[in-house]
Each structure stands twice: as structure tokens, then as C-alpha cells.
Amino acid sequence: MPTAGESVGPAEDTQAATKINKPLEGRRALVTGAGGGLGGAISEALANAGAAVSLMARGRPALEAVAARIAAKGGTAFVAPCDITDISSVASTLGALPSHDIVVNAAGTNRPEPFVGVSLETFDLLFDLNVRALFAVTQLAVRRLLEEKRGGVVINIGSQMGHVGAVNRAVYCATKHAVEGLTKALAVELAPGSIRVVTIAPTFVDTPLTRPFFEDADFRKDVLSAIPLGRLASPDDIAAAVVFLASDSASMVTGTSLVVDGGWTAK
């Protein structure tokens, strides 16, 4: 660091600018559910911040489209098609890749139904993807970090519904509350290995997946009236939170949930 009155040379200027503009330079990130919507936006933001990103989802064409957008901006992305509910497939896919400093569990689903009408098929579908697959991907990625004696960060995309309840979302709320509990437990257990574990809990996000719901004017009105800021979250809102939590700026943040909900849970 230069002393008082000492000038900073071009090399130092370049390094400082890189640290600010590319805070994840030299790191590798894994993003599940990376084929579009929220996962795609997160992947692009991580790449823009300097990380090399492994894109994991079932559909290769969608992953290749995200990878192409990343490459067009000078970023680095690797396409890793995989059904994350197939644990053996996840293991073989990750085994063919280097370890990841950043793991973002963005894959998830919902099937809103009245509690008394929920089928075990729906229950299993949501828990298999939202909890079981998240657990397995995290376990496989963290084992590599521990074996290599390297730190890292796991970022679980939860939901505001992991903090509150909601009509027709009994199973979804249960899965997202489970993610919050898992985050806390892993943060405590993995801290000695310098591995942070955090959750981001968004409100409703404007994505192709959620857009059809908001074609119902009454539903849209009800949702917006519950958000004090009066708007839906954008994928970029969530992606920016991911980049922050993945960076050294959040080096003391672990075992907690960053609620990006426009004030929904503050009431």
C-alpha cells in the first residue's frame, strides 16, 4: 500500500480497478437451474464479476444460450447438462469438472395447491428438487473443497416463504423453511473449513416461469399490495445479491438469510 504522498503506479491502478469491477476474478462458480430466468441472470452476473461459471440444468440448448451470452461479454462458462434430482448423474458431472469456490443452488419449483388437495406426488416433487437435490449438490461440492482444504461459499436461493406462511403453498413453504434450517446448520459445521453458507430469500420475481401467474389481475394486485416497495423483484435484483454474498465484501456473512422481498416480511 502506498504511503502518504506516494503515487500509485499503473499496475496498482489496474489491480485496484479489477478488484472493484471483477471482485470474483480467478474463482469458479457452479449454478444449478442455470438454463434461464433467475438462474441464467445469476450465472451472467457471476461471469460479469469475473468468475468462470459452470452452468447446470437439464436442457443443453438453454444452457448453451446462457453460455453464449456470457462469452459475448468476454466471460467464461462451461455447459454441464444434468438432472440434479439424479444424484449419480450430478456426481459424475461434477467429477469431470474442477472444484468450485462458489456454489449457487438456484434450481427449484413450486406447484401451488390447497393443503387438503396436495398429492404425495406434488410433495415428493417439491422436496426432491427444492431440498434433496440441493442437499446432494452441496454435499458433493463441499466434499471437494474440504479435501482440497479450500474455503468457499454456498448460496441457497430460498424464498420469503421460508420466513412466513402462505395460502396454497404448504409444501413450498415447508421446503423453503427446510433450506433456511439447512443453511444455519451447515454454516456452523463448515465454518472451521472457511466455507460460508447463506440463503437469499426473494419475493416474487418477474421471470418467464412466474409471468403467467401475473396475467391474473387480482393475483397481481394482491401480490403488489403485499410488497411495500410496490413492485416485483427483477432477476438482476437477486443476481446482485448473489455477487455480493459470493465476494470478499461478505466475508463475515454466514448462517443467515438475505431477504430481498421489498418489505414483504417486515410487516
Catalytic residues: 172, 176
Residues 6+ apart with CB under 8 A from 9: none
For the record, the C-alpha cell of 23 comes out as 471482485
* Residue 196 to residue 188: CA distance in whole angstroms: 9
For the record, the C-alpha cell of 120 comes out as 404425495
For the record, the C-alpha cell of 203 comes out as 419475493
- CA distances 106 to 21, 42, 184, 186, Å, are 24, 8, 18, 17
H/E run at residue 180: helix 170-190
Count of positions (residues) in the chain:
267
* Residue 267 to residue 263: CA distance in whole angstroms: 7
Phi and psi at residue 30, to the nearest 5°? -110, 130
Q: Is 218 helix (H, G, I), strand (E, B) or coil?
A: helix
